[in-house]
């Protein structure tokens, strides 16, 4: 174990629930560690209306780079941190290549804006305009125009209208539904360059 954990490497830290950003900030500023917290920047429809949010790619975890045997105790006593991920006495490290790929994708800000394209059959909520607050069903996506055709129930009659994508938000979609876009061939090619 000593040989395996005596080298500088990336390790995984479990955070307290919904404290990823707090743990990351405290590990950076308090301990001076290199920390990586990849997050999605997205819009969510809530009771308060449309809210911009940051969601971690790996909820409940952050990555740190250090010599773990020298820093483990102070890491585990940092505000927002639960514990260093380990299996018995073994503390696994993450390959530098994996973290580098994620860093390329998420950039220096460690965030990626996510606005998935609506597809026919998606449930959406209209966020602005005359139909704000109404729920609808996507009939057709018109990506070249950045518009969608939706089906609304107006005065008890199904009515098809065309609306700008910026005026709707997808309902019942989670971050997990958007992760597959990272594996698209365009992304893989960009990372090889």
Q: Note whether 16 and 38 are same-domain residues.
A: yes
Answer whether residue 82 is part of any domain.
yes
87 and 107 together in one domain: yes
Residues 98, 50 share a domain: yes
Q: Is residue 180 part of a domain?
A: no
Note whether 21 and 98 are same-domain residues. Answer: yes
Q: Are 36 and 110 in contact (CB under 8 A)?
A: yes
The answer, as to whether pTM is greater than 0.75, is: no
How far is 142 from 148, CA to CA, in rounded Å? Answer: 5
**pLDDT given for residue 190 in this prediction:** 44
- Are residues 154 and 88 located together in one domain of the fold? no
Do residues 83 and 132 both lie within one domain?
no
- Structural domains of the chain, count: 2
Q: Which residues of the chain have pLDDT under 50?
A: 1, 186-193
Q: Which residues does 188 contact at the CB level (< 8 Å), separation at least 6? A: none
Task: Tell me, yes or no, whether 147 and 101 share the same domain.
Answer: no
Query: Can you give the CATH number for the domain in which 83 is found?
Result: 3.30.70.940
Give me the pLDDT at residue 164, please. Answer: 87
Give residue-wise pLDDT tens across range 29-42.
999 999 999 998 87
d(CA 68, CA 159): 61
193 part of a folded domain: no
Looking at the fold, whether 131 and 70 belong to one and the same domain comes out as: no
> Which pLDDT value is given to residue 10?
97
Q: Alpha carbon of 112 to those of 54, 57, 182: distances in Å?
A: 9, 10, 10
Residue 131: give the domain boundaries.
123-172
pLDDT the model gives residue 84 = 96
């Amino acid at each position: 174990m000593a040989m395996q954990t005596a080298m500088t490497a990336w390790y995984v830290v479990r955070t307290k629930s919904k404290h990823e950003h707090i743990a990351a900030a405290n590990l950076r500023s308090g301990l001076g560690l290199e920390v990586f917290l990849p997050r999605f920047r997205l819009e969510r429809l809530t009771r308060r209306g449309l809210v911009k949010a940051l969601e971690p790619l790996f909820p409940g975890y952050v990555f740190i780079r250090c010599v773990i045997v020298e820093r483990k105790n102070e890491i585990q006593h940092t505000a927002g941190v639960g514990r260093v991920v380990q299996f018995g006495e073994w503390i696994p490290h993450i390959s530098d290549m994996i973290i580098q790929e994620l860093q390329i994708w998420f950039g220096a800000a460690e965030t990626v804006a996510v606005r998935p394209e609506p597809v026919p059959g998606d449930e959406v909520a209209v966020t602005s305009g005359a139909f704000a607050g109404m729920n609808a069903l996507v009939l057709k996506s018109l990506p070249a125009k950045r518009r969608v055709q939706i089906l609304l129930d107006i005065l008890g009659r199904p009515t098809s209208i065309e609306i700008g994508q910026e005026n709707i938000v997808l309902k019942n979609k989670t971050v997990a539904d958007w992760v597959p876009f990272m594996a698209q061939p365009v992304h893989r090619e960009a990372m090889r360059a």
